[in-house]
């Protein structure tokens, strides 16, 4: 099993536009072989005392894949290239962390 934590930071004030593109692509990703989880998350309210907030322009994508091969196929999928092209002008930064069980 492979887990991915992607931190996506939009240009100031553009997060909702990026999320709209992301959500439109989600059914394509969920249909991919080996996709277990693929979901965006934003800061939860009410945890300021101990939360390390990512801020109003960012969101985190939590992904779970059956295998490294499934993740590599996902990264090469045409719908991911289309999403990347559409969202690139809206992004300030993108960090992708890939994890394997310890």
The answer to whether 6 touches 41, Cβ cutoff 8 Å, is no
The rounded percent of the chain whose pLDDT value lies above 90 is: 94
Q: Got the DSSP string for 62-89?
A: EEEES-HHHHHHHHT-HHHHHHHHHHGG
Q: In the structure encoding, which two tokens stand for residue 93, read together?
A: 């930064």
- Model confidence over 35-91: pLDDT tens digits? 999 999 999 998 878 889 999 999 999 999 999 999 999 999 999 999 999 999 999
pLDDT at 49: 84
- Model confidence over 20-48: pLDDT tens digits? 999 999 999 999 999 999 999 999 998 87
54-65: burial string, b at 16+ Cβ within 10 Å, e else: eeebbbbbebbb
Domains and CATH numbers, the chain: 2-99 (3.30.70.100)
Rounded Cα gap, residues 28 and 49, in angstroms: 37
Question: Which phi and psi angles does 88 have, rounded to 5°?
Answer: -50, -45
pTM for the full predicted model? 0.93
The answer to whether 63 touches 3, Cβ cutoff 8 Å, is yes
């Amino acid at each position: 099993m492979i887990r991915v934590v992607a931190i996506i930071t939009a240009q100031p004030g553009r997060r909702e536009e990026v999320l709209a593109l992301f959500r439109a692509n989600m059914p394509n990703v969920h249909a991919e072989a080996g996709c277990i989880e693929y979901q965006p998350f934003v800061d939860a309210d009410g945890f300021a005392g101990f939360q390390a907030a990512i801020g109003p322009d960012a969101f985190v994508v939590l992904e779970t894949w059956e295998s490294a091969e499934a993740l590599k196929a996902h990264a090469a999928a045409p719908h991911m290239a289309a999403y990347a092209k559409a969202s690139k002008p809206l992004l300030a930064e993108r960090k992708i962390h890939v994890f394997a069980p310890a």
